[in-house]
Structure 1
Amino acid sequence: MSHFSKLALVSMLSLTAATAEAAPALRGDITVTTQVVTVADMFDDAGPLAETAIFSAPAPGTTGKVDISAIRAAAARIGINSFEANGLSAVNVTRAGMIVDEAQLKDLVMADLSARGLLGPGVNTTVQFSRFIDPIQVSTGGVAVRLDGLRYTAGGREFSARFLLADNSRVLDLTGTIDMTVEMPHLAANLPAGTILLPEHIVMSPVPAGQANAYAFAPIEQLVGMALNRQSREGMLLRLSDVSAPLAVAKNDLVTIMYRRGPLTLTVKGQAITGASRGSSLQVLNLMSKRVISATAVAPGTVEVTGAPVTLAGL
């Protein structure tokens, strides 16, 4: 081997040895996601001890300062007797975290109710905890929070829930109330019997969902254009039984009595003895013959004789 080759070999071995024996170098401020700080987190060139825990991490979402003397003592305990401090007197260790707040917890309760089929169309649901929930910092590992169990009986208000935070190491037990309401039609003002309901007569206000089921939900479309059966007060919940089709002919109204038979149409004047809505029957007095006949209200002020054929004299 030539002299030059020997020198090259010695240089290579020296460089390899120096590299193998390079001291770990302290890193600047670091961020971790687990409960411990490892050698690899704290040092560059950590070597075979890279995965060894050297400190406990601070609480999720917080930062702790570790001074150089504490780092030297902890490193010595696991066999690192020297390292490059890089001029640092302390290292800030931050543990990454996620926030769990009250809104997230309520969303989980709502999702469970929906999965049970308890949130029907048109039902407004409000979840209220029995105490205020401050935002909670949790670790970034996995899901921030999940609902472990919900105790709630359909139709009731009270509930209790258990939540598991982040890595399942923390349990949060909460109680509260669940209010379910439905918007239902109410009168906007006091109105007399017979009033034909217009859109401005009706306001939609919330009522408990159970009450809505008991009274039978009445869509506003089925109420507008109907007549109130009795004098009604402002704020009254409107049901289908509170209204009926408006009268086309009222009692004592003067009406035109029509009788059709083939091409023949006969009309005479009459007076209603009873009232009737369109398509309903009523009793009418023929003012010419003074006879009382049965007819059907076909339009305001107009009735038609229907049923078995009658003679003209019978009118």
Structure 2
Amino acid sequence: MRLVLLLLLGLSSAAHATPSPTLRPFVTLEDAVVRLEDLFDGLGERGATPLGPAPPPGHRLVVEAPQLYAIARRNGVEWNPSGGAQRVVLDRPGRALGQEEVLDALREALRPRGVEDDTDLVLQAFHAPLVPPDAFPQIMVEQVTYDAHTQRFAAGLAITAEGMAAQRIRLAGRAVTTLPVVLAVRQLAVGDVVRPEDVRLARVPANRLRAGAADSLDQAVGQALRRSAAAGQPLLMANLAEPLVVERGSTVTMQYETPGLTVTATGRAMEGAARGAVLPVMNLSSRIVVEARAIGPGRVRVESRR
């Protein structure tokens, strides 16, 4: 009977025994605070105990065995180093603040100083600060200076976001005036008629823009090229012309008009011509060359002589 009682007591003790906490060798932190459960597994509700601030976004913190032992003793955790290189690596992910986010804030601050929205802001150097991946950072521009003569600016940025301490950085750069220009999207050959998908409108620094470049899509679309253009090259107005509706050497319909009567004949174009242009045409029946005006694809109207 006594033996049975001892066995039952042993079983009862085993049933109530709790496993010893174990280390978590590598942890990705999603919070701005390091908690006890980030270091040790198996703590239950006690795991939510805060220990201190997490490392900044994009940084990591390594907690070695002596620190772990001290933290365990201070918080009543039954853990002892078992030898070897025991440590916990706490990794705090972060994303780089986009340069465009910074430039938008700078443009807003420079607008009252006469810098237009379509001006290109060129930073001397930009080391993107890191913020929590899912955070919506607030950017405050401070101590702005701008020299309209040199177009140089300087400013301080205060960046705040939930889950991180405020960061401050200093930036400097130039405000570069830009102008619109039509650029070829692909290689265009002589005679090609420009389609909407062949070109795009972009802004380029004014000091890099060639004089006479087309600055709106309407100036280029539907026009024929007099010179080829490479992809990314501006289209010059001097190299654009109305597309030919009559090709040199092609057979055309000649239209003679007199009051109350229209007569047609077949001719051969001696030159190419765009719509509305005058060109010499040979009447294939009489072999007489006359001047005619191109009025459509393969059609000309003979100009009456005065």
TM-score (norm: length of structure 1) = 0.50
**Mapped contact 2:115–2:175 kept (Cα < 8 A):** no
Percent identity of paired positions between Structure 1 and Structure 2: 29
Q: Does 1:291 align with 2:288?
A: yes
Aligned match of 2:255 = 258
The 4+ residue runs of structure 1 with deviation greater than 6 A are 101-105
Aligned match of 2:173 = 176
Q: Does 1:243 align with 2:240?
A: yes
**Mapped contact 1:248–1:278 kept (Cα < 8 A):** yes
**One-letter code aligned to 2:149:** T
**One-letter code aligned to 1:125:** D
Question: How far, CA to CA, are the matches of 2:254 and 2:102 in structure 1?
Answer: 70
**Mapped contact 1:247–1:276 kept (Cα < 8 A):** yes
Distance 1:149 1:231, change over 3 A: closer
TM-score (norm: length of structure 2) = 0.51
SS in 1 for 2:197: helix
**Mapped contact 1:149–1:162 kept (Cα < 8 A):** no
Match of 1:128 among 123, 134, 137: 123
Aligned match of 2:153 = 159
Distance 1:160 1:278, change over 3 A: same
Question: How far, CA to CA, are the matches of 1:104 and 1:186 in structure 2?
Answer: 26
Shift of 1:133: 8.9
**Mapped contact 1:108–1:146 kept (Cα < 8 A):** no
- Runs of 5+ in structure 1 lacking a partner? 1-100, 136-143, 164-171, 310-315
Q: Deviations over 1:277-300 (max 9, x none)?
A: 001111111111111111100011
Question: How far, CA to CA, are the matches of 2:292 and 2:171 in structure 1?
Answer: 68
**Mapped contact 1:248–1:276 kept (Cα < 8 A):** yes
1:18-97 matches, within 5 Å, as none
Question: How far, CA to CA, are the matches of 2:103 and 2:233 in structure 1?
Answer: 33
**One-letter code aligned to 2:272:** G
SS in 1 for 2:182: strand
**One-letter code aligned to 1:304:** R
Aligned match of 1:270 = 267
Question: How far, CA to CA, are the matches of 1:197 and 1:103 in structure 2?
Answer: 32
Q: Deviations over 1:171-197 (max 9, x none)?
A: x98632334545532222223211111
Q: Deviations over 1:34-84 (max 9, x none)?
A: xxxxxxxxxxxxxxxxxxxxxxxxxxxxxxxxxxxxxxxxxxxxxxxxxxx
